[in-house]
Amino acid sequence: MTPGPGRRLIPAYLVTGGRSTPSGPALDRLAVLLRTDAELPPGAGTEQRRLCGLLDPGALTVVECAAHLELPVSATVFLATDLVASGHLRARPPIPRAGEIDRSLVERLLVGLRSLH
């Protein structure tokens, strides 16, 4: 049976190796992944190699990696968690959103800047 247009030859759930939970601490979907200098072992899977190849030029979030690999985000989390645990990737949590700015502080800053003229 040949796959139809846009269908993967290997189902995405096989990327997880049949596991229902990642091997390490779960990654946030917006975690930023960075490649390390460690070489992948010869037995590394195709999807692991593709993920590391994506990160050669720079960092991407888990969601962006999933889109490029055309894999579900959950399967990409499994791949990334395994590679972080083995030292081939580094994961950084997403940058938190900025908090509310105190309006009185901004007004005092504006008054101070105007007084410089």
Q: What is the CATH number of the domain that holds 26?
A: 1.10.10
Q: b vs e for 29-63, b when ≥16 Cβ sit within 10 Å of the residue's Cβ?
A: eebbbebeeeeeeeebeebbeebbebbeeeebbbe
Flag whether 5 is in a domain: no
Flag whether 49 is in a domain: yes
Flag whether 97 is in a domain: yes
pLDDT tens for each residue of 42-58:
888 888 899 999 998 88
The residue-averaged pLDDT of 5-19 equals: 60
Q: Which domain holds residue 52?
A: 12-115
CA–CA separation, 98 vs 88, rounded Å?
Answer: 31
The residue-averaged pLDDT of 2-28 equals: 62
- Inform me whether the pLDDT recorded for 114 exceeds 90: yes
Q: Give pLDDT, residue 1.
A: 43
pLDDT tens for each residue of 69-112:
988 888 888 888 888 888 889 988 887 777 788 889 989 999 99
Flag whether 57 is in a domain: yes
**Mean pLDDT score of the chain:** 81
Q: Give pLDDT, residue 27.
A: 78
Q: Give pLDDT, residue 23.
A: 66
